[in-house]
Structure 1
């Protein structure tokens, strides 16, 4: 099985040999093992590990445990991190055995691992593309630096963790791959160590090592999320900057992809920097990336927010022309824009088109339509659609309920509005806004139903919404309309007493 039998049993050596117990000889090996300290010490340990890991069909788990125990008995003083590192390197073609030995040595207190032994096992696992295992050990190595105060507290947030330096030094001896640095960058980002991640990328680029585009995208996304779209765009320019020029064309070692530009567009839109979207779109064209439905949806959303529906609809038609497959996000975006300007006829056609195309609607789809109907005063249509979405298990946002109640109150159908709120509140997890209560209280006061309004106001307080100047003024106007000046005067005094007199609607 192992072509090292001849090396171990060479004649003329002064090595002390020992016949294996029967459970080691149960295979076809019949070998002798080195047990004394010698220049072949690491080699003998590697061989012992390979034998310990051998598990034929006729061997049991207990036998495997006995072999590991036998190795421990041969080396009771354990291993130094350097020895562990050397053993792992020799076992690099069997990464899972390498990891098993690494963990076994730690569990049995045979080695106190340092950054060298951690870096070695991380390299071996990374070159085997064992991503999850590598990331776990990278996280432990980063924590080891902090626990042992290896990283200076004042500068550690600005420079790469020490494990990066150790990984770089052991890179060639472990016959590693650049993928290991991608994993380190990802681990730093997961720990929100943004500056360290950026510095690692810079140092790698200075050595002509380029992280994968997916890693660069994650860096841009993390920076944008934590520091804003401007910072994210700056990192994009740095990471994917022009490296050299050939003739009239520029070249980069790692080119951005469609996801890169979608990340930049989304962060710019979320931060309200919609003027940058066209610049990003131009960058996309420069790198020959064809926008997809997500790209179009973000740009349409920005145009809808700015009231540029004609331009948004042009993009919608462009997607049709290019035969880009439309999804629910695209439909929701254009329907939302149409509903905001009261174009419910066109919105209804798209709503029906979704059903015919078997594109599953979301709660947001219904909410856009409900709010659109409320905007143009079609209360009954809004209520019917709301009931339809409720039957399908969707729970609307409180703001949508506010829109419906507002539309109902505008039609002076206050009792119906109150019944609507009660029906919504029966649904699990729904908590109304203050606005809904204020609208209904105002409607009841206009109708002269002051006692009923007072009860609703008490309920509102119980929900955690103390009365404000708007509620007080509503009641004061209601009592004054009834000629109850005494009650109105008491409410004004109460307003002064609790400091609401200076508030304005």
Structure 2
């Protein structure tokens, strides 16, 4: 009780509204143990329960579907898989979690819900759940705090994130020194990943006396300054690492190489040659120190060729890789495909895609998105839809929420409203989305076409599912309704928003939910 009282202000402080990875870029880093949530697994029961809740749950009242759930035997696996299927519907997920408390809940269930709520900036509720875990003797692990800290930093709340990390040892039953030595890299990396490199450097300089300085820590800081395009500062940390007798590895060089290759625009003509020369110097230095460039090293160079729109150089470097016995991976192929697409050579890109598949490398949605973006630039809606049809029929990969968003933006821009609706339904059926960007795209698209009633319907659906609209979305909808002389519609919409802000079902009474409005 004393500890709980001491940290009360931490748990319930009012903060302003604003696949897990350890390192900043999967292209640059690899790790042994990454804090992660479970993946979606096939489960007919979880599919049925999630669809039942999504289709019949009334967001303004208590869980009306709960009676229909009676008789179902809930296991930890079923609860976790259902929560994963509700990841884009925070209020329904919270309501289901509340109903499930009559059954055994494990750490994973709490972690999934904490991530869902933090994604929509409900940090006070996340803290309540952490306290509830302690009260119910549910084990709190580092993943619990990593999810919270990552979302806090992503929302710009760096001070709260650092404070949460500092107090984490109380809940993990580990000494403060152990927590700083074992987990500090995660905090440092997340700060750098979201661009708060100065904050990361301040924390590093302040706490380095208690840290085990190694190549990993310095590599993260080098990455952070490269991300801010401050190569001189990055090289300073690289030199400091050498001065301390810490040998850089291939990851360190790849991070520096990545910073050099991406530090600035490659235009006007001539700048790309300088960047390529600087990159080759890093390659030479790697060889001098006995560090052989790997597939990531070549992928970074291929990416700079892509940005400089040099498809011939990219294809030649790909041949060199194969000659040296280095097998291209999905990142390598995607960089070259992106280069070919951006240069208008879609046919060559399609041939390379076939070659990639024949070599046993499975394309991802990011690979296909290169084609969709080129189709969008060409205003070739039919070509994009043909490729989308192939994705649906094929077995390589499912469209991601980014894929759907690209298609939605294109279809709405060119007035293909009916097809956009079909794509929207496909996205919901696939479970990939919709997310905040999806709703924002759709609402703004309907506003541009002056379909105010439809825009209001999706706006309300967005609120009901727990997404906080951006300020510009409010303003766009408000201005459009006023200019269209639909003040009465705006008043009805505002009334429903007010009801949503103050009216929650009984399952929400004990949670410090922020109003779903700005």
TM range (shorter): 0.3 to 0.5
Q: Which has the higher helix share?
A: 2
Question: Rg: which structure is higher?
Answer: 1
TM-score normalised by structure 2 residue count? 0.43
What TM-score does the superposition give when structure 1 sets the normalisation length?
0.44
Structure with greater contact order relative to length (CA < 8 Å, sep ≥ 6): 2
